[in-house]
Amino acid sequence: MESKNALSKLSALAQENRLAVFRLLVRAGHDGLPAGEIAAALDVPPNTLSAQLNILSNANLIEGKRQGRSIIYTANYDAISGLIVFLMEDCCQGREEVCSPVMAAAQSACC
Amino acid sequence: MESKNALSKLSALAQENRLAVFRLLVRAGHDGLPAGEIAAALDVPPNTLSAQLNILSNANLIEGKRQGRSIIYTANYDAISGLIVFLMEDCCQGREEVCSPVMAAAQSACC
DNA sequence: TCCATATTTCCACGATACTGGAAATATGGA
DNA sequence: TCCATATTTCCAGTATCGTGGAAATATGGA
């Protein structure tokens, strides 16, 4: 990932509501959630949310697909792991201090 | 890491100059770099840089220590790995799609 | 003490971001 | 066709951010 790409992902996530949206969608899994439900869950007006979904979507962190009247948003797992890898490789080159806590967390969290 | 903490780190890094400062300091290693050299390397006026160093420092991503007339800044490796772990654990709970690319990168990059 | 160097603080300007009302668009059903 | 629902686009107001000039502070050396 080039750093420009990483920058757009970082700034998309660097906002309370958008980070919350992303976390919600990650938890929602591959089925995703319609925009309206996200707005309700976060208690944000639908047009405000729409702007934020757009920013996350432009950063490629989420994707929206129309399904009937709703638009279902899903998290893009590749994108977030790409960002994490960018941070790791950018920081980790020979830097065991950064890398090994991440490895440890990965092992206990999932792998 | 609480998400508020993560948010301040994300927004500190979500800016071109500041991301560049951080990368530079990571590469500089434990010896760090004086503010003036950072400013010269990035071609940013010293007072502008100072504001950006302050933001990174408030997010705990870097630390400055006076040494003679200079102030030497170093990257805080714990902080960045904390952020990475936050992103991983926040995304990774049972999500092998996110976790395994990160593990693979970690293994080839450093561990 | 006086001066040069290194950096920060103060302050104000311009740019960008966040927000939400109102209107527009898209879909599905009666 | 008409209406309700779901979401977006348009637009403008406010707030926050990034920037850099000028002055202030801190340090070390002559």
- For B92-104, the pLDDT digits (tens) are 776 889 999 999 8
Q: Is the CB of A101 under 7 A from strand D?
A: no
Nucleotide nearest to A67 (CA to C1'): C27
Closest residue by Cα to residue A54 from A28, B34, A46, B68: A46
* Nearest CA distance, A94 vs chain B (angstrom): 6
Give the per-residue SS3 of B36-72: HHHHHHHCCCHHHHHHHHHHHHHCCCEEEEEECCEEE
Indicate if CB(B66) is under 7 A from strand D.
Answer: yes
| pLDDT tens digits for range B19-63 | 999 999 999 999 999 999 999 999 999 999 999 999 999 999 999
pLDDT category of residue B2 using cuts at 50, 70 and 90: confident
CA–C1' distance B44–D26 (Å)? 22
How many CA atoms lie less than 13 Å away from B69 in the CB half-sphere?
2
* Domains, chain B: 3-78 (1.10.10.10)
Q: Which of A74, A92, A93 to mutate to test the interface with B (most CBs of B within 10 A)?
A: A92
Q: Is the CB of A74 under 7 A from strand D?
A: no
B90 CA: distance to closest CA in chain A (Å): 7
pLDDT of residue A16: 97
pLDDT of A111: 73
Given this model, what pLDDT does residue B5 score? 93
User: Any idea what DSSP says for residue A30?
Assistant: G
B38 neighbors B74 (Cβ within 8 angstroms): no
Helix (H) or strand (E) holding A72: strand A70-75
User: Which of the four pLDDT bands, split at 50, 70 and 90, describes residue A94?
Assistant: low
Angle between helices A3-13 and A77-92 in degrees, nearest 10: 120
Q: Which pLDDT does position B94 carry in this prediction?
A: 65
Question: Average pLDDT in the A53-69 region?
Answer: 98
B31 at interface of A, judged by CB pairs closer than 8 A: no
pLDDT at A1 over 80: no
Q: What pLDDT, on a 0 to 100 scale, did the predictor assign at position B3?
A: 81
Average pLDDT (B104-110) is: 84
Per-residue pLDDT band at A106 (split at 50, 70, 90): confident
pLDDT of residue A4: 79
What is the arithmetic mean of pLDDT over A64-81?
97
Whether the Cβ atoms of residue A83 and residue A90 lie closer than 8 Å to each other: no
DSSP per position, A52-71: HHHHHHHTTSEEEEEETTEE
In percent, the amount of chain A with pLDDT more than 90 equals 79
